[in-house]
Amino acid sequence: MSIFVCIKQVPDTETKIQISADGNGIETGAIKWIVNPYDEFAIEEALKLKASTGADKIYAVSVGPQKRAQDALRIALAMGCDEAVIIDSEESFDTMTTAKLVKAAVLKTGEPSLILTGKSSIDDNSQAFTQQLAALFEAPHANNLVKITVSGDKSLEVEREIEGGSKEIISLTGLAVLGATKGLNSPRYPSLPGIMKAKKKPVHTYAAGDLGVELTTKVKFSDYQMPAPQPPTRILNGEVDAQVDELVNLLKNESKVL
Amino acid sequence: MYKALVFLETAKGKVKKSSFELTEWCIANGVEFEGVIFESNNDEITNQCKSAGVKQVTLVSDGTDYNSVTWSKTFSNLISNGFNLVLGSSSVRGTDFFARTSALANGAFVADCTELALNGEKLEIRKPLYAGKCTCAVELSGSGPKMILMRANQLPSSTERSESTNFVEHKLEGTSENLKVKETILGDSQRTDLTEANIVVSGGRGMKEASNFKLLEDLADTLGATVGASRAVTDDGWVPHSMQVGQTGKTVAPSLYIACGISGAVQHLAGMSGSKVIVAINNDPDAPIFKKSTYGIVGDVFEVVPKLTEKLKSVL
């Protein structure tokens, strides 16, 4: 029984986004790709849970163009994951088709006891993959997790962040899909020996078209636009009292937000 | 022709205001709709539905305690009664069970949308990408229902109406042997969640230390606002991570965002640039936040914020 961690490559948060010539995507030429930050929490948690869940291996899984997916998976392997699974595709799919591909590849590779993901990805913020993958496995999911504990009988107790700083405590048994968020742990940096070892770890590659999944996309993005240019900022001058009076007046009477 | 099922999300025995933005959208666009509430009825809910003009509501009274497995099962069965459009707010709960339902109902699902219009039979949807660095149009296809979650405060609020609402009961379906919600721990904050707040007061490194967030709490209390923070200060543990605004935190789009002592890293700006009006208070005139603001005060937050709170108390 193994732990599978799903990771995605996303543009670095420092990236200046530029829209491609056809308007249906972004320029990817100059982008530095990183592992989606929430997925790093999932990787770290898998490494921490390996012993207590009795898992024999941790597989890191990613869908994407071979080279880009491999770069992301190398990081997961260098952090300590055992093997990598690439679902190779130049085309990108909606979260549902991605989840179907991941399910098929997972079942071809091993027997999952636990699946970990990041709670969402910082590029398109679809917030759907974790829940859809769980539904496909007919397994429960719990997302936005800040704590995961494993009891002696291998059942899980997780703490999930909900709204307004509130939390839910959830218990889960059997296969579950869990989404990690910030606060769960502090992901380790890959060590030099880790990076060396990663080069020799097994990488399984499947072509997206070979997994028996219909490659359709029901959620399509097009007509990308940059935000409207910002009108110039109005800097309020004078003494503090005058600044505050003017600000309150503007908020009430000009922009009418109070 | 669309027939919509609108998820009327409840908290503390009331339907959230953002849910009625969706029923209002249906009424304004001539879309036939029904509501669904996972809670037993009370006078407050009856009055809310009546004045929002909701004629038909399904109540799942035994579903008051949230469970993603049974809710999704029940919701997908309700959708299969002829609904081809499903609307809700892009809240923590909304995304959690809409996405799961979409897999059961073979739907096309999109969250975090900021624009929704109906042009003939065509739904025109837009959402931000890369935490608001750009936006895109979203096209939903397939034979299943189109499931759309809208950010709060993006569509017009509901206008006062008077309808009689017909409530029908529906039993919670499915079982959840492998998932049990054991306990809900309420946070100490009684404020609206950041992602749904109409006004956000946010603090950064310029607040100098954790205890100074008291000044922002006071300002927020006066405005009925929610307090947020920059990554620098949540990473330092001044306030919980759940308060972080930015690309690796929460994306917010309130009517008014007041940034206090925040210099404005690109990731932070991405997370709040959807705000209608942005006020920046910072002692560094070159801080990037001033380039994104509607109004700016170059000054000492410890002097400006208390005076602003005082002034607002006298006028609100």
Mutant choice from B14, B18, B68 vs A, greatest count of A C-beta within 10 A? B68
Number of CB atoms found within 10 A of residue B25's CB: 22
Outline where DSSP puts E strands in chain A.
2-6, 9-11, 33-35, 57-64, 83-88, 112-118, 141-150, 156-161, 167-172, 177-180, 203-207, 219-225, 234-235
Q: What is the residue-wise DSSP string for A6-25?
A: E--EEE-TTPPP-B-TTSSS
pLDDT of residue A230: 82
Beta carbons within 10 angstroms of residue A196's beta carbon: 10
- Of B167, B212, B197, the closest CA to residue B60 belongs to B167
Distance from CA of B117 to the nearest CA of A (A): 16
Give the pLDDT of residue B315.
93
Exposed, middle or buried: residue B153 (CB in 10 Å: 0-12, 13-18, 19+)?
buried
pLDDT confidence of residue A152: 87
pLDDT value at B276 more than 80: yes
Q: Do A13 and B267 touch (CB under 8 A)?
A: yes
Residue type, B201: V
In CATH, the number for domain A2-210 is: 3.40.50.620
Lowest mean pLDDT among A26-30, A70-74, A114-118, B115-119: A26-30
CATH architecture of B3-169: 3-Layer(aba) Sandwich (3.40)
Q: Do A123 and B240 touch (CB under 8 A)?
A: no
Asked whether the beta carbons of residue A13 and residue B308 sit closer than 8 angstroms, the reply is: no
Q: Which residues in chain A have their CB less than 8 angstroms from residue B67's CB? A: none
Q: What is the pLDDT of residues B175-185, one digit of tens each?
A: 999 999 999 99
Identity of the residue in B95, B137, B247 whose CB atom sits nearest the CB atom of A122: B247
Which pLDDT value is given to residue B15?
97
pLDDT at B193: 87
Q: Give the best residue of B10, B65, B92 to mutate against chain A (max A CB count within 10 A).
A: B92
Distance (Å) from the C-alpha of residue A143 to the closest C-alpha of chain B?
7
Q: Can you give the pLDDT at residue B174?
A: 94
Span A69-89, average pLDDT? 98
CA dist., res. B8 & res. B57, Å (int): 9
Q: Among candidates A116, A126, A100, A109, which has minimal Cα distance to A172?
A: A116
User: Angle at the Cα of B55 (from B49 to B56), degrees rounded to 5?
Assistant: 95
Please, where in chain B does CATH 3.40.50.620 lie? 3-169
Domain map (residue ranges) of chain A: 2-210, 228-258
- The pLDDT, as a whole number, for residue A114 is 98
Task: Provide the token pair at B225.
Answer: 């606002």
The candidate with the shortest Cα–Cα distance to A180, out of A150, A154, A141, is A141
Residue A164: per-residue pLDDT: 78
* E strand or H helix that includes residue B161: none
Residue B160 is encoded by which pair of tokens? 């006062």
Confidence (pLDDT) at A228: 85
Cβ(A173)–Cβ(B178) below 8 Å:
yes
CB atoms within 10 A of CB B27: 20
Indicate if the alpha-carbon torsion angle A104, A110, A115, A119 is positive or negative.
negative
Q: Do B296 and A241 touch (CB under 8 A)?
A: no
- Residue A125 — left, alpha, or beta (φ > 0 → left; ψ -120 to 50 → alpha)? left
Contact A230 B303 (CB under 8 A): no
**What residues are paired with A59 via a beta bridge?**
A4, A83
What pLDDT score was predicted for residue B211?
97
Per-residue pLDDT reduced to its tens digit, A190-222: 999 999 999 999 999 999 999 999 999 999 999
Q: Which two tokens stand for residue A113?
A: 């006891």
Mean pLDDT for A122-126 is: 95
Pick from B92, B130, B304: CB nearest A240: B304
For CA atoms B135, A6, B106, B35, give the dihedral sign.
negative
Q: CB–CB of A225 and B136 under 8 A? A: yes
Report the pLDDT value the prediction gives residue B191, as an integer from 0 to 100: 83
At residue B186, the pLDDT reads 87
Q: Check CB contact under 8 Å for B99 and A225.
A: no
Query: pLDDT of B57-68, one tens digit each?
Result: 999 999 999 999
CA distance A250 to chain B (A): 9
**8-state DSSP, B249:** S
Res. B130: pLDDT tops 80? yes
Q: How far is A187 from chain B (nearest CA, A)?
A: 13
Task: Give the mean model confidence (pLDDT) for residues A137-144.
Answer: 98
Nearest CB neighbour to B185, from listed A166, A171, A216: A166
Determine the average pLDDT of the residues in A181-186: 96
Mean pLDDT of chain A: 96
Q: How confident is the model at residue B190 (pLDDT cuts 50, 70, 90)?
A: confident
Nearest Cα of chain A lies from the Cα of B282 at a distance, in angstroms, of 11
Identify which of B100, B135, B304 has the shortest CB distance to residue A243: B304
What local confidence, expressed as pLDDT, does residue A89 receive? Answer: 97
Name every chain B residue with its beta carbon within 8 A of the beta carbon of A131: 68, 95-97, 99-100, 103
**Residue A250 structure tokens:** 């503007």
CATH 3.40.50.1220-classified regions of chain B: 194-315
* B160 — pLDDT class (breaks 50, 70, 90): very high
For domain B194-315, give the fold: Rossmann fold (3.40.50)
Q: Give pTM, 2 decimals.
A: 0.94
What are the Cα distances from residue A103, in Å, to A69, A135, A174, A177, B205?
17, 11, 16, 11, 43
